[in-house]
Amino acid sequence: MGGAEQRRSEWLTGRVRNHSRRVFLGAAAAGSAALAGCGLLDGEPAPDPAPDPLQPLLDEALALAAAYDRAILAQPALAARLTPMAEDHRAHAAELAKVIGATPPSAAPSASAGAGAAETAATLRKAELAAQKTAVAACKAAPAARAALTGSIAACRATHAEGLR
């Protein structure tokens, strides 16, 4: 192979290489655009994603746990009595999250425990009695597979109200 011929063939392969890279890049760009398009479509909310009927019960369990955390911060003398009750609520939240298929909430006491209204045994008791009603309604409306869990949560909230007397 002569020198000129070799340069030409290099040039040719270079061209071809460049061309194929352009083609490849173009294809990749088109591909990523397509992927981005897919991503955007996937990101669209599913048509009418109704929240799980047990979501309010889960939110309430976390709110109650946070209320206990505030009460313990305000009155450390109550910690022995209140800590197991706060843990009960966290256990409820974890179990509900499992049933709903949501991310299990953090088991740690809420970081915002210092904020919010001052809690006393009396305000906690009132909150428990209200929350018991929510859980009774949830149990009544639940399909069979969720009846026992929601029922135990309702009963537990009632025992907390009793324990706070």
Partner 1 sequence: MTEQLAAALAAEEAAIYAYGVIGVHLTGSDEVSRARAAEQEHRVRRDDLVARLDELKATVPAAPAAYALPFEVTDRATALDLAIHVEDGVAQAWRALLPVTENTERVEALSHLTDSAVRATRWRRIAGAVPLTLAFPGRPGA
CB nearer to partner 1: pick between 31 and 84: 84
Least distance (Å) between residue 164 CB and partner 1: 9
In the complex, which residues of this chain contact partner 1 (CB under 8 A)? 80-81, 84-85, 87-88, 91-92, 95, 132, 136, 139-140, 144-145, 147-149, 151-156, 158-160, 162-163
Q: Smallest Cα–Cα separation from 124: which of 98, 76, 87, 163?
A: 163
CB nearer to partner 1: pick between 102 and 158: 158
CB nearer to partner 1: pick between 70 and 89: 89
Tokens for 12, please give them: 């040719």
Least distance (Å) between residue 84 CB and partner 1: 4
